[in-house]
Homo-oligomer: A and B are copies of this chain.
């Protein structure tokens, strides 16, 4: 292995000067810098990351926790996070799984400088304690009120309200709701906004048309089939996220019903798939790229200064109308 000492010997300077060149310190004469850079090239030198980390306490690596990477929303989010991290000169370690097991340990072991959680549903004791200690931790997409750390979310309540407005204005009176799981803040806020606005409009949700459950495709598919099999089925169904909406459309298709002719479907997140012809689903878009950048920025600031107060950023959502909700009044 080539070390900075070898380079120093080759360039006829001290190891410290090599280190200074490495860090772009301006305390090095241009001529010396050139000599050192040339020696580095000649020797094929690469700084040893672990040694550097040992001194600086920085890994230039951020951990990202995702509950289920096969839910197509998360690859899109991950791509945005990955891009933001890359442009900030950071590597990305990925934990896939509902628990994010290992991520907090990694933080303690100094493997990563900070963590971004995209799918927290509740604050584990371990997570709460890490936040308490001031560890650099940020929540992206899903928030957690009881956690005093940086959080970047969208206005899910507002999005839910917008969908309520849209469906009622279109004339729907029997509206179904695939609620998703109970814990995620996204699902909760979307539901609250949706319900509250319906009440405000004098069209409170019929609980008989509300199906709790998960975000999985097959659960949503089954739920939709159940709704459509009712004597008086809903004319429109709002789904807690796009994966659920895809399942709902497939449920309708499998039951021989047509969207939007027989039933309207609205999703949430605007994943790429919803725009494809076979689905063509009306949904609510969040500004993923900006959110990812914000989360990365907040987190990296906190890596430098753990004393910062927790900051919460909430981005606006936007209804995107597509073919799963015809523009003509329904029913």
Interface residues of A (CB under 8 A from B): 46-51, 53-54, 59, 61, 69-70, 72, 74-76, 78-79, 82, 86, 91-94, 96-97, 102, 105-106, 108-111, 217, 221, 246-247, 249-251, 253-254, 272-273, 276-279
Contact = CB atoms under 8 A, between A and B. Distances in A.
Given A49-B110, A54-B54, A253-B278, 14 more contacts: A47-B109, A49-B106, A49-B109, A50-B53, A50-B59, A61-B93, A69-B75, A72-B75, A82-B96, A91-B93, A92-B93, A92-B94, A221-B277, A246-B278
A306 to B, nearest CB: 14
Nearest to A278: B278
A110 B111 CA distance: 13
Identical chains bound together, number: 2
A145 B74 CA distance: 33
Main SS at interface, chain A: helix
A222 to B, nearest CB: 12
A296 B250 CA distance: 36
Given A59-B50, A250-B277, A96 B109 contact: no
Contact of A49 (B76, B86, B111): B111
Contacts of A111: 49, 61, 91
A105 B54 CA distance: 19
A97 B69 CA distance: 17
B278 A249 contact: yes
A249 B251 CA distance: 19
A84 to B, nearest CB: 12
A91 B97 CA distance: 13
A276 B221 CA distance: 10
A272 B72 CA distance: 11
B48 A69 contact: no
A42 to B, nearest CB: 16
A278 to B, nearest CB: 4
A217 B276 contact: yes
